[in-house]
Amino acid sequence: MKGYKVFNQDWTCRGKQYNCPGNFEEEGKLEVCEHGMHFCENAADCFNYYDFDSNNKVAEVIAYGTVLKEGDKSCTDKLEIVREIPWDEVLRIVNTGKNCTGRCNTGDCNTGDYNTGDYNTGDYNTGDYNTGDCNTGDYNTGDRNTGDWNTGNRNTGYRNTGNRNTGDWNTGDWNTGDWNTGDWNTGNRNTGYRNTGNRNTGDWNTGDYNTGDRNTGYRNTGDWNTGNRNTGDCNKSSFNTGCFMTEEQNIMLFNKPSDWTYRDWLHSDARYMLKKIKKDVVEWIYSEDMTDEEKEQNPEYKTTGGYLKVLDESECGQIWWDNLTEKEKKVIKDIPNFDKDIFEEITGIKIK
């Protein structure tokens, strides 16, 4: 039976002196790991028992006597050392690939052991250009990453910087989601620590779009808010500007106090109608209705008989208003504290 055996640099093994080439025998009952001369059929298996060290001697051997096998190791009572195997040949034998420094590599130019892929530095990598151990993917720096371009350890996803991230483009540790900066975030695009939700800036936020710390809710600016759309700190209700509010406050309308809350405004018919004002409305202007300035800016009118005018927002608003029914106009005018001059100043809509 042919195989391979590793020796110390002085050709000793388990206290027995060998030489290369040579024939050797042992008397007594064979027992794997106890008595006999040991070898492996697969060269790579030898290094499960010996250091992968270029100072050690590696030889091609043949067992002529009785052979006992247990797992990947065998022992015999009659052994021939055929030849010493140079270390560069050892590297080719124990690797499937080219130019590898290590053992059991599948791929090329690996430094380390048990890599599948190319140009890995470390052990047990699947992929290419990994630095570290047990990576699945490409261009990882660190250990146990699944994905590509991760820097750190135990990341699942792509382009993470830090440790134990699940998702993509995370900077920090223990993030679940994408584009998080900080640690222990669950969600997406969080900046800070221990956020649950999306697009939070700050720490310990539960919800989405919070700016500040320890907010529970959505779109809060400040700290310790329980509720939604608060500006300030320690608010329990929603849509507040201030601190320590437990009830929603009324809002100003047309520069005066009103009996509406912001929630009332959000659900009002007036707000719904105003959101229907179209933008980028175009209108055909005939040549006879064009001003001298318009004719100068649009000389093609001589051929086309006019030009297509893009209306600005105030003009779009005015067209919208002029096409409302009287009932619809009354909805706007019934906004608390309605003031047509302020309305025109903000919207550009003239009310006669």
| Residue 202, pLDDT score | 81
- According to the model, what pLDDT value does residue 324 have? 93
Q: Coil, helix or strand for 271?
A: helix
* Composition of the chain by helix, strand, coil, percent to 5: 20, 35, 45
The pLDDT value recorded for residue 33 is: 87
Residue 116 CB contacts under 8 Å (≥ 6 apart), including other chains? 105, 106, 107, 125, 126, 127
What confidence score (pLDDT) does residue 277 get? Answer: 84
Measured CA distances, 185 to 154, 156, 157, 269 (Å): 16, 14, 15, 39
Q: What is the pLDDT of residue 106?
A: 67
Q: Write down the pLDDT at residue 229.
A: 72
Q: Domains of the chain: which residue ranges? A: 2-90, 94-227, 282-347
What does each C-alpha distance from 114 to 37, 117, 124, 127, 163 come to in angstroms?
27, 10, 5, 12, 23
For residue 131, what are the CA distances in angstroms to 6, 106, 154, 155?
A: 29, 16, 13, 14
What are the backbone angles phi and psi of residue 131, rounded to the nearest 5°? Answer: -120, 110
Helix segments in the chain, DSSP class H: 43-46, 87-94, 262-266, 269-274, 292-297, 301-304, 313-322, 326-333, 340-347
Residue spans of alpha helices (H) in 241-288: 262-266, 269-274
Quick one: pLDDT at residue 102?
Answer: 66
Q: How far apart are CA 223 and CA 248, in angstroms?
A: 17
Cβ–Cβ < 8 Å for 154, 143: yes
The pLDDT tens digits along the chain (352 residues) read 999 999 999 999 988 999 999 999 988 888 888 889 999 998 888 988 888 888 899 999 999 989 999 998 999 999 999 999 988 888 888 776 666 666 656 666 677 766 777 777 877 788 877 888 878 888 788 888 888 888 888 888 887 888 878 888 888 887 888 888 888 788 887 888 778 888 788 877 887 778 877 777 777 777 767 777 777 776 777 777 777 878 888 989 999 999 998 889 889 999 999 888 877 667 788 889 889 998 999 898 888 888 887 777 778 888 899 999 999 999 999 999 999 999 998 888 999 8
Q: In what order do the strands lie in the sheet with 206-208?
A: 186-188, 196-198, 206-208, 216-218, 226-228
**Are 248 and 258 in contact, with CB atoms under 8 Å apart?**
no
In this structure, are residues 123 and 133 in contact, taking their beta carbons and an 8 Å threshold? yes
